[in-house]
Amino acid sequence: MDGGVFRIGSGPQRPGVRVEEAEVVVIGSGMAGLVASLSLAPRRVTLLTKTGDLPGGSSNWAQGGIAAAVGDGDSAGSHAADTVAAGAGLTDPLVAELLTREGAQRLNAWIGRGLPFDRDGAGRILLGREAAHSASRILHAGGDATGRTLTGWLASRVRQAPHVDIRTGAFAWELVVEQGRIAGVLAHHADAGWVFHRTGTVLLATGGIGQLYRHTTNPEESTGDGLALAALAGAELADLEFVQFHPTALAAEAGRRTPLLTEALRGAGAHLLDGSGRRFMPDEHPDAELAPRDVVARAIGTRIAAGQRVFLDLRPIWVAGGAAKFPTVAAILAEAGIDPAVQPVPVAPAAHYHMGGVVTDLDARTSVQGLYAAGEVACTGVHGANRLASNSLLEAIVFAERAAASILAHPAPAPYAPVPQAPAVAADGTGLAGLADAARTVMARTAGLVRDGAGLSRALMDLADLQHRADRLRRMAGLAAGDVRAAGELRNRLLISRLVVQAALGRTESRGAHARTDWPQPRPEWLRRQVLTLADVATPELVPA
């Protein structure tokens, strides 16, 4: 089966494809893409990003910081133990050991190069506490503007780096593979049309899948593009069923994103209240508001599903000067017309982070030769069934640098491959948006915080039906770049939604972020990861129209 690949053999005149040679192509401009691009010097890097400027992706929006054992009395061993405990039995302890040990070293090296973190009056880096960490080890920058501050700093260095050719507005459509090896990337450029970037080495740094869901803290570019490109290229994917929902997003949409209210607020003393103003988390878990993220998210989600509202009470923090410590949250609430000093803030869980991804080894290599992955798109095995807060930016740095070191050590010329044809992907933009919206609803209803087999089976049929409708829409000529991106994102969304649902249906147990009402307990036979490829996309009979 074709997994929903948008290729048709005949039809409208196809546009031409220009060829450009590249030593290394990096796709994505969040933390992993920026760090890798800098670390790949002196190799010539073509950095493709579909956004209009650097930086892009979720890293830019991270409020919570970077966890690293850099403080007095802390140790990588303790950080690794917390990481393993959060992963609910599926975290690979060797990767946790590597992440925490190398992470602290690599972060110290970046601090030495000037990466800016918040410090106290004596110049010492300030370290905060977050849920399920046994020590204060969270570094922040610009208060709760950590992602923006760090990726902004990195992006300014990438802009000045002579070895990096930055190509914004560039949508990666296909990884070209020849005899099992990467041979290039076919991309659509808003300013230059179709380009075949001939290369033997590609690093995916495309982030996560939050936009597959109706409510997400992720930006609009998080549509699972890298996962889909890797799947279509034949790569192995793992842990796809594990989607982390952040407990406290603002219960109001801002465009296509649901703004995050950082966990650090609860670390600083904010409480969760139900509709009657009662604090409920102490009844749910001994760690109350600082219980593991999936526990807090489900406690909130079940109340909302029962028709209640849930609030985050920031008043104790705000009276103690919280607005200065949490400037991003203050701005979000001001825009929403909420004064947290006088009223509790309505919150709801939102899709936040994907533990699953493209299977990678310790050097970020995937199962396809010449294809690397780092950051959220990758599955190193370190997050298991539940990511420990603030481990993601650390993972992005460590594995982007390891990927760069491996690429530098093993130069790979591009194998010969014929120039690919530009696909005929034309479609009506409005129709695409409607299908994307319908898919988001299916995912939110069936593959969210709480799942069951019947709902997941139904979702597979609904998604296959949407795929058929998408296939019917893609036959118009005269593409604009926006149409190509919308068509590609829809292809990627539908493919990855189906794989996530397939994985959730396959895992007949509850573990970490994956909770099923029909299989409510963890089961020993599922103490293993689930690896899927494109061949595993189910094609159920369509529901009659």
Given the rule CB under 6 A, which residues bind ligand SIN?
63-64, 262-264, 352-353, 389-390, 392
DSSP 3-state assignment of 278? Answer: coil
64 close to 390: Cβ distance less than 8 angstroms: yes
Give the angle subtended at the CA of 419 by the CAs of 415 and 424, to the nearest 5°: 140
- What six digits make up the tokens of 180? 């099992």
Of 330, 326, 376, nearest to 355 by C-alpha is 376
As measured in angstroms, the least distance from the Cβ of 6 to ligand SIN is 33
CA distance 272 to 9: 56
* DSSP bridge partners of 345: 312
Q: 292 burial class (0-12, 13-18, 19+ CB within 10 angstroms)?
A: buried
Beta bridge partners of 353: 244
Query: In the bound complex, what is the minimum distance in angstroms from residue 97's beta carbon to ligand SIN?
Result: 20
Report d(CA 384, CA 87) in Å as an integer: 4
Residue 340 or 423: the one with the smaller Cβ distance to ligand SIN is: 340
Q: Are 143 and 325 in contact (CB under 8 A)?
A: yes
DSSP state of 536: G
Q: Point out the residue whose Cβ comes nearest to ligand SIN.
A: 64
What is the DSSP annotation of 97-130? HHHHHHHHHHHHHHHHTT----B-TTSPBPEE--
60 secondary structure, DSSP code:
G
For residues 394 and 383, is the Cβ–Cβ distance under 8 A? no
CA distance 173 to 228: 10
Query: Which of 96, 407 has the CB closer to ligand SIN?
Result: 96
Min dist. Cβ of residue 317 to ligand SIN (A): 14
From 97, 64, 57, select the one nearest 328 (Cα to Cα). 64
Nearest approach in angstroms of CB 263 to ligand SIN is 3
Q: Is 188 or 215 the residue whose CB approaches ligand SIN more closely?
A: 215
Q: Can you spell out the DSSP letters for 281-338?
A: HHHH-TTGGGS-HHHHHHHHHHHHHTT--EEEE-HHHHHTTHHHH-HHHHHHHHHTT-
- Separation between Cα atoms, residue 344 and residue 323, nearest integer Å: 15
Residues belonging to the active site: 293
CA angle 505/509/514 to nearest 5° reads 70
What token pair was written down for 11? 């039809």
Q: How far is the CB of 153 from ligand SIN (least distance, A)?
A: 19
By the 8 A CB rule, do 355 and 380 touch? no
Please provide residue 99's backbone torsions phi and psi, each rounded to the nearest 5 degrees: -60, -45
Q: How far apart (Å, rounded) are the C-alpha atoms in residues 460 and 502? A: 7
**Residue 208 vs 224, nearer CB to ligand SIN:** 208
CB of residue 316 to ligand SIN, shortest distance in Å: 18
In whole angstroms, the minimum distance from the beta carbon of 251 to ligand SIN comes to 16
Q: Please, which residue, 237 or 296, has the CB nearer to ligand SIN?
A: 296
Toward ligand SIN, which CB reaches closer, 46 or 63? Answer: 63
The least CB distance from residue 266 to ligand SIN, in Å, is 8
Cα-to-chain-centroid distance, residue 213 = 12
Least Å distance, CB 173 to ligand SIN, is 30
Looking at beta carbons only, is 136 or 533 nearer to ligand SIN?
136
What is the pairing mode between strands 164-167 and 181-189?
Answer: unpaired
CB closer to ligand SIN out of 46 and 206: 206
Name the residue with tokens 């790949």: 40
